[in-house]
Every structure is written in structure tokens, then in C-alpha cells.
Amino acid sequence: MDVAAISGLLAAYSGSRTALARVGELNASLSRSEARFRDVVEAAPDAMIIADRNQRIVLVNAEAERLFRYGRPELLGQPLTRLMPHRFHDFHGARVADFDGAQGPRRMGDGADLFGLRRDGTEFPVETNLSVLPGDGDDLICSVVRDLTFRKETQERQTLLIRELNHRVKNTLASVQSIAHHTFKSTGDPAAFSEALEARLIALSQSHDVLTRNDWAGASVADIVAEQLSPYDHGARPPYTLEGPAMTLGPNRAVTLGMALGELATNAAKFGALAGTGTVHVAWEKHREGAETWLRLTWRERGGPPVTPPARRGFGTRLIERSLAGGLRGSAKLEFGPEGVTCVMDFPLLAGEA
């Protein structure tokens, strides 16, 4: 073999070694890129499911396992339809089959009722973004799935709150209208009307304040009573005492009781125990009336100016009696003794209140 041939072989060998080294570098770079891609998919906060053009799953991340409650080996090679209710199979299959990604990602489920299917057969609302991962003739479909359960529940709560607010506003306006109408009929001049109306609206507002602090879930009897008497607490010791077990009334019933107590408090501040150095003692207890549990609340004024029975039954007295009869299905008994006013309210408790 001559020198030229040997030189050629050596050059070819050197070139092969260089080419092989380059192939090795490219393979290593490809492996690193694939590892980085898998890390990105694995770290994604949403479920990611990658399928081939036959809609067979080739890769899922940890969030997909958690969301659908499958182990990874259980999903690989399975059709995408395994993760959705049967009623969506045809729709979803057609949408994925004609998706080429040319127009960018496609959102599915946004504004529509699209559901995922967990391993245990439970359904949950989802939205899905589809995108294409291009390859050499073997493009992949990437589906990013987001659980909409919390969003749907929030929207339902918001809708419920809006309806409840609308109902409350209508009831409040009806109450204000009724109070204004009857106050006008029972007062003889504009000044008296203004004073009486203001006091009754304040009582209504105070009842709402108690409920607002409890997110309108109801209010305790102690809070309802204290809220109506607190405006008259100006000294070192409050001019009232409260006594009774812990118990809660529903929202509408709390407002009704608050209005009746507000009427008693206003009258006590103008003519009774709260007009001077007297005191008001409010006590409540539960008792049985047949198969029902009732609440008996007693308002007792002492130490105020001498009391004389009114010449006629005013709107305040009728408001208390009507509130107990209509709003609470009970009764109210007012006594105007010389030592002070006493009012006994009796009404049945609803389920959950007793």
C-alpha cells in the first residue's frame, strides 16, 4: 500500500470519528431537549395530555394523574375518549381529527358544558386547549385540561347571592313602604311623622346590621335584642340586662323580631324606663306547645316614670302584634302596669332554631 492510500484511509478514519462525535453530541443535545420538555410538561399547573394522530395517549403529566385519578401506566396507549363521558366521544373525536393547528390553539369547553371523566366514573366540568406539536410526519396533539369545578361553584354562588339580594331588597322596600304608610296614618303632624319614621327605619337598619355580620345566615336572639338596645347605652353600666340560652333565628324572622323590639325600645326611650334612670330586663326561654318548641321572650321595664295605659292602640302596638302574628306565627301581650311596660312574646321555633 502506498503512502497516498494510507493517507486517504487516515483522513477517512479521522472524518468518521469527527462525524460520530458530532452524532453523539446531537444525540446528547436531543436527549437534553427531550428531558427539558418532559420537565416543562411535568411542572405545568394544568393537566397536560399528549396524543398521536390516532388520538392515543403517549404522554401525561402528574397533574393529569391527579385530576383524572389514573396512574400513568394506565393511560399510556389508551384513547383520549377514556377521559370523557360517552356523550362527548363523537363530538371530541371529530374536533380533534380535523384540527391541524394552523389557526393556533383551539379552546374547547369555554362557555360550553364539557366534562371530564375520572377513573371512578365521576364527572367534572373542564375547558381544554388543543395545540399541535409538529414532527416529521407524526405530529402530536397536546391537550391542556383545566378543572372548572371551583369556577362553576363560584358562579352558582354568585347567581344565588344576586337572587337572594334581589329578594331581600324587595322585602326591605316593601317593609319601608308599609312602615311609612302606617306611620303617616297614625301621626298627626309632619314632625311626629318624621320622628316616628326615622326610629322605625333605624330599627330595621339595626336588624340588617346584625344579619350582615353573620353573612345573612341568621342571628342570635341575644344579638338581636342587644342591637336594638345598644343606642341607649350611654353610661358606665348599660340600662338593660339580657338573660336566655344561646339560640339563632333565621334571617327573615330575625328582622321581624328586631322590628318589634325596636318599637319597644323607642317607646321606652320616649316614655318609659329608658327615658330616665330605669332599666329594661329581657329574658327568653324555650317551652313546649304540643309537638312544637316555642320561644317565650319577656320584655320588662322598671324604674321609669309612672305608666298609664294609652287612650288608643297606636301603630306601634299594632306593629308589634302584627309582627308576632304574621312574621313569627305567634302572639304578643302588652301590659301597661304603673311600674312599667311588660311585653310577652310567644312564637314557635323552626327546624334548626330550637
Residues 63 and 4 both lie in one domain: no
| pLDDT at res. 346 | 96
Residue 173 lies in a domain: yes
**Domain-ending residue, one of 147, 168, 203:** 147
Which residues are CB-contacts of 340 (< 8 A; sequence separation ≥ 6)? Answer: 272, 273, 278, 300, 301, 302, 303, 304, 307
Residue 353 lies in a domain: no
**Domain-ending residue, one of 115, 147, 179:** 147
Q: What is the pTM of this model?
A: 0.59
Q: Nine-digit cell at 195?
A: 320622628
CB 124 within 8 A of CB 157: no
Residue 354 lies in a domain: no
Which residues are CB-contacts of 256 (< 8 A; sequence separation ≥ 6)? Answer: 323, 324, 327, 328
C-alpha span between 347 and 286 (Å, rounded): 10
Q: What is the CATH number of the domain that holds 127?
A: 3.30.450.20
C-alpha span between 333 and 321 (Å, rounded): 8
Residue 308 lies in a domain: yes
| pLDDT at res. 73 | 94
Residue 106 lies in a domain: yes
Angle formed at CA 316 by CA 310 and CA 322, multiple of 5 degrees: 120
Which residues are CB-contacts of 339 (< 8 A; sequence separation ≥ 6)? Answer: 302, 307
Residue 4, domain extent? 1-43
Identity of the residue numbered 311: A
**Domain-ending residue, one of 147, 179, 197:** 147
Residues 136 and 222 both lie in one domain: no
Residue 184 lies in a domain: yes
Q: What is the CATH number of the domain that holds 195?
A: 3.30.565.10
Residues 28 and 136 both lie in one domain: no
Q: Which of 326, 353, 188 is nearest to 260 (CA)?
A: 326
| pLDDT at res. 124 | 94
C-alpha span between 240 and 92 (Å, rounded): 69
| pLDDT at res. 232 | 87
C-alpha span between 110 and 12 (Å, rounded): 61
Q: Is 278 left (phi over 0), alpha (psi -120 to 50) or beta?
A: beta
Residues 29 and 107 both lie in one domain: no
Residues 260 and 281 both lie in one domain: yes
Residue 99 lies in a domain: yes
| pLDDT at res. 101 | 57
Residues 84 and 113 both lie in one domain: yes
Helix H, strand E, coil C: the string for the chain is CCHHHHHHHHHHHHHHHHHHHHHHHHHHHHHHHHHHHHHHHHHCCCEEEEECCCCEEEEECHHHHHHHCCCHHHHCCCEHHHHCCHHHHHHHHHHHHCCCCCCCCEEECCCCCCEEECCCCCEEEEEEEEEEECCCCCCEEEEEEEECHHHHHHHHHHHHHHHHHHHHHHHHHHHHHHHHHHHHHHCCCHHHHHHHHHHHHHHHHHHHHHHHHCCCCCEEHHHHHHHHHHHHCCCCCCCEEEECCCCEECHHHHHHHHHHHHHHHHHHHHHCHHHCCCEEEEEEEEEEECCEEEEEEEEEEECCCCCCCCCCCCHHHHHHHHHHHHHCCCEEEEEEECCEEEEEEEEECCCCCC
Residues 259 and 172 both lie in one domain: yes
Residue 197 lies in a domain: yes
Tally the domains of the chain.
Answer: 3
Residues 33 and 63 both lie in one domain: no
Residues 214 and 311 both lie in one domain: yes
| pLDDT at res. 8 | 56
Residues 247 and 292 both lie in one domain: yes
- Using one digit for the tens of pLDDT, what is the confidence trace for 68-100? 999 999 999 999 999 999 998 887 777 777 776
Q: Angle, nearest 10°, between helix axes 190-213 and 315-322?
A: 30
Residues 178 and 325 both lie in one domain: yes
| Residues of the chain below pLDDT 50 | 10
Residues 205 and 324 both lie in one domain: yes
